[in-house]
Each structure stands twice: as structure tokens, then as C-alpha cells.
Structure 1
Amino acid sequence: MQCNKKWTISAWDYEVAIAPGVGGSLRGLFWQGSPVLRTARTDHILDAACFPIVPFCNRIADSRFEVAGVSYRLSSNFPDAYHPHALHGYGWVRPWQVIDHDMSSIRMVHGYSDGEWPWHYRAEQTLELGAKGVMMRLEVTNLGPGRMPAGLGFHPYFPGDGSTVFRGLHRYEWQTAPDGLPLTLVDAGDAVDWWKGAAVTTRMVDTIQEGRQGVLTVLRPADDLLIEMTPCPALSCTGVYVAQDAEFFCIEPLTHPTDAINRTPGRMTWLAEGETLAASLLIRAQNSLFGID
């Protein structure tokens, strides 16, 4: 099948390896031969360099929610294990199909009409390489009657070490329970660097930050690499996960916070039949010696 094939696109000093059949995931992203994201060592989705998040972001508490007076219960969608909270939607655990590609771009689709999510949808993901970096676009369209709550996001993984610094200015950060569900929204009073310039591995977190100002940057002195991520305005939230073993960390631009369908349904986008939600993320790399202008 076409979706089981692995693809590589390359241009403007960038190279991206894609596995459509593995959740439409990136298996690697390189700039001048240097890995910008972690590089997948296996074909498992949890070993990905990045995967798309659709049609909802992060966790749905206890996999339960109610819409228009109807209660729904979703099964665990976590690969190879039980997870009490439905997580990251369904795009990352379903195969995608390539519908268009050339040397510097690829377009994939994923359709959902046969599962527990109560709405049918079509998702499309596009990657384009250019002089400004790697442009990733994601959209979802409600194919059925009734308004569908929708969210989108990108889930990049970065290799972690004691010198890597993440800088993203945010005014708010959610304190979370051990299972990642939100407890309290902390207000810093202004958009600040919650790491205060320290290495990203000095804070073990699984949180959502809001009130972002400017771009998101990752500085890797050991690789002489500075990575800049520019989310579109629709991606108003930033998920941050730093693993306990510090082997990797994730910076996830998202359209809504955790469990929004239950806690703040107005933060989701409610799509009528035929309506589409779209989002984009630009990833750019440069030698850290020169910085990013």
C-alpha cells in the first residue's frame, strides 16, 4: 500500500523523512545533515520525531465528555498500553495516504468514519521545504451533520541534554496532576521564560502554557544549533513535556488546552458540516553562533 511507503523530501539544506503509515509521522528532520528533532530508531509512533494531533489536543479526562446532552465514552487510544484519558486524537494512531508530492513537499490525508469519535472527518497534512524553513500545515474538516468540536496540534520531540535551553515567553502555566490533567492556572503577570534561562532538563513538567509572546526557540550548544518554531495564531497554547529520564522533551503548539471539551468547550473550534479548521507551524534551524534574525 502507498501509505506504508517511507518518503523523503529535501531542499534548501533541509531533509525530512516521513512515514505516512505510522500516524503521518516525521521520522527525522535534518538541517545541513544535523538532526533538528530526535531521529526515530524504530517504526513505532512513540519513537517518532513528530506527529500530527487531530481532531483534539492532549487529554480528555477519563475519556468521557458530553455534547448537546449526549454522553460519550471513548476507549483508550494509547498505543500498546491502557491510558485512562483519550490522548492526542486519532491521526497519530491511524495511517495516512500520500495524495501529492514532489522533491520538496508532500501532502497526506487521513479519514475517520469508523470509530468511537462521534463525528466523521477528513484531515490533511502538508509539509513544504523552503528558504525560510519547514512549513507544516494541518487541517480538519467535519464531514457529517452536527457541530464537531475540533482541535489541532503538532507534537515534535527534541533530544535532551544538560545544555539544551528552551525559551518560550508565556504568561500562564498550568499546574497539573501526575496524570497530566490541569489543576491550577498560574499567572506570572507577564510573558516570561519559566526556565529563567536554565537548561530545559532542570524542570520536569507535563503542562500547558498560554499567553505566548513571540516565537519558540530551542538552543542546542552541543550541536551548535538554534531552532526557531513559529506557530500560527490559531496555535495559541504550548504543550511542554520534559521526561524524567531527560532523554527527550516535547514542545507542542496546540489550538486548545487539555480537556477543553469538558472544562472550557468554547476554547475548541466547533465545525458545522463542511467547515474546516486549519493551523500551521514553521520550523527553522541555523547555527547558534550566528543566531536567528
Structure 2
Amino acid sequence: MIELKAGAARLGLLPELGGAVTFWKSGEVCVLEAVSDPNLLAQKGHRVAAYPLVPFSNRVADGHFRFDGAEYRMKPNFAGEPHVIHGNAWQHPWELALLADDSATLQLEWHPPYDRPMDEWPFAYRAQIRFDLREESLAVGMVIENIDQRPQPVGLGLHPYFPRRGGVKVGFSADTVWTNDERHLPALRVPATGEWSFEHMRAITDQAIDNCYAGWDGAAFLRWPDDGLALTITASPTFRHLVLFTPPDRNPDRNFVAIEPVSNMNDALNHAGVMDRGITILAPGERLEGHIHFALTAC
């Protein structure tokens, strides 16, 4: 494990476990919640607090999509579902490219095997993620570069888990939200109003939410009033979708709120007709870059 330090702040990184964050602490307070999810098969039961979503966020229905006249199929990587979820970068070891006391850059090169059946992402790419820790903030920069000889469709995202404690409240603004069908895939796009709205901060209690918001304005807010702590999340224009995931049960391994800045809607590779689905087509040598900033304050 790599540990970054900035004053009383600490950040733990596990490059070999999919470029994952294992903790972010401000003094004795855990800003991120370490979670063990047995459905994420490649994490092998390890507890992680955040991990990168490359080269797409959320699901690809049945691991199947068509692009540029060709058909592609990938092997499911999430237990209990026939879909491929969150790309494949979280399934592979990353390398440490740069390291300082308060910053680190991790890198992954993915080359699909050509000597056996394709189980994963069928295009070659290079990804980097940089963490810059300060005493009251964390900055995360993400880049994906197409190192294939063909164009490829890509997205980016980050999957942080936040503690569901201290009377936690969440707030953000978005235009619309996608409802889900029984297979956890996008069904209808509806206005983010009424029960779907977080325009005014709302307490996260026992409700179950697992939906992708579109037209996100790039800012989200968490407050733990019992702890006197607040967190502001801001993201660059690459991230115009936001996934909110709050499990209904409150056992120790699922007592979290996931607020995921992402570039693409769920199952975006199979929704070419949605103009703002968030997929970027990279020609060989082109890059997609995004930045996310987390700022801690008292409340």
C-alpha cells in the first residue's frame, strides 16, 4: 500500500488492486468508507474506498455492444448479473508512475489479447489517475488515451464510497434521471423533480437509490451534521452524469452512500440514439481527460 500525507490528512492507495483507494482520513475522521463487495469479483473481498471506472461507467447490457460496424461481446465481471460493469481497469494492477509525499500518479496499459477469445474490453488504451492530497482536500485527475490502431468509444468515472453516518445529507442539481428496468438497465428518462430531486439537501435514510442523473451541473454536496463536517465535490465538464447509489440494507459492508461523477449514462454503448449519452469517440492517439475535486469544511 502507498500512503500519502498532508498535515493531518492521509490517503491510502492500492495500485495492484485496480488503482483503488483504500482510505482517506482527516485526522481520526474517515472521509471515505472502505467497502467489501463480493460481487466485484476481481477485488477478491478486499475493502476499497474508491476506484476508477475506465473505459466506461456502469453497465454494458449482457456485455454486448456494436461499434463502427463490428459486434463485440465481453465476459460478465459482476456476480449475479449477465452484464459487464465499470469497465475493466479496476480488474488489473496499475503501476506507480510518480510519487511524492502528497501526490501519486498511477498508470495502466491495457492490450487486448489476440491469441485467445476476447473476454474484456476489445481496444488498447493507456489510463492514468493522479491523486493530489492536501490537508482539507483531495484532487483526482483522470486520463484515457487510445493507443489502439482503431477508433474506440470511451468514458470515465470515479466510484467513491462515503460513510452513511452522522445524519448524512446529500444535495446536487441535475436536469433528468434515468429509471431502471428489472435488469438494472436504463428504462425511462424523467425530470429530476419531486422524489427524484436533490436540489435541496435531503437526508439519506433507508431508501434504495441506484440511478444515473443526466445534465448534472458538476457540483455535489454531502453533510454529516452530527459530525460537524461537510464535503463539496466539483467536477470538470467531462463529468456531466452523476450516479447515486444508496443500498437499502445497513449491514456493516453496505453502510455507505456512493456519489459517482461519471462521463456516460448507464449502458451508454447501447444507446447511440441518446445525444448526450456521454460516450467520446477517440481516434488513435487522442485522449479524454477529467478532474474531480473534494473539499472538506466544517458545518
SS at match of 2:249: coil
Give the Cα–Cα distance (whole angstroms) in 1 for the partners of residues 19 and 226 of structure 2.
30
Amino acid in structure 2 at the alignment position of 1:285: L
The aligned counterpart of 2:99 is: 101
Give the Cα–Cα distance (whole angstroms) in 2 for the partners of residues 131 and 30 of structure 1.
10
> What pairs up with 1:96-245 in 2 under 5 angstroms?
96-115=94-113, 116-130=120-134, 133-161=137-165, 163-188=167-192, 193-194=197-198, 196-213=200-217, 215-245=219-249
Is the 8 Å Cα contact of residues 195 and 203 (structure 1) preserved in structure 2? no
Amino acid in structure 1 at the alignment position of 2:244: V
* Candidates 261, 270, 294, aligned match of 1:262: 270
* Candidates 284, 288, 293, aligned match of 2:295: 284
Give the Cα–Cα distance (whole angstroms) in 2 for the partners of residues 147 and 264 of structure 1.
16
**Bigger mean CA deviation after superposition, 210-219 or 21-30:** 210-219
Structure 1: where are the runs of 5+ without partners?
1-5, 289-293
Is the 8 Å Cα contact of residues 218 and 226 (structure 1) preserved in structure 2? yes
Q: Cα distance 1:121–1:137, how it changes in 2: closer, same or farther (>3 A)?
A: same
**Displacement of 1:44 after TM fit?**
4.5
- 1:78-111 deviation line (CA, Å, top 9, x unaligned): 2xx3531110001111111101101010011111
The aligned counterpart of 1:32 is: 27
The TM-score, its normalising length taken from structure 2, stands at 0.87
* 1:71 maps to 2:71: yes
Is the 8 Å Cα contact of residues 218 and 236 (structure 2) preserved in structure 1? no
Give the Cα–Cα distance (whole angstroms) in 1 for the partners of residues 197 and 46 of structure 2.
28
The aligned counterpart of 2:87 is: 89
The two structures, once aligned, show a CA RMSD in angstroms of: 2.2
Structure 2: where are the runs of 5+ without partners?
38-42, 114-119
SS at match of 1:170: coil
**Displacement of 1:28 after TM fit?**
0.4
* 1:15 maps to 2:26: no
Give the Cα–Cα distance (whole angstroms) in 2 for the partners of residues 125 and 230 of structure 1.
17
Give the Cα–Cα distance (whole angstroms) in 2 for the partners of residues 193 and 131 of structure 1.
32
Is the 8 Å Cα contact of residues 133 and 284 (structure 1) preserved in structure 2? yes
Percent of pairs with identical residues: 28
* 1:273 maps to 2:296: no
The TM-score, its normalising length taken from structure 1, stands at 0.88
Q: Cα distance 1:199–1:189, how it changes in 2: closer, same or farther (>3 A)?
A: closer
Q: How many residues align?
A: 280
SS at match of 2:248: coil
Amino acid in structure 2 at the alignment position of 1:63: G
Amino acid in structure 2 at the alignment position of 1:58: N
SS at match of 1:223: coil
SS at match of 2:238: coil
Give the Cα–Cα distance (whole angstroms) in 2 for the partners of residues 173 and 129 of structure 1.
32
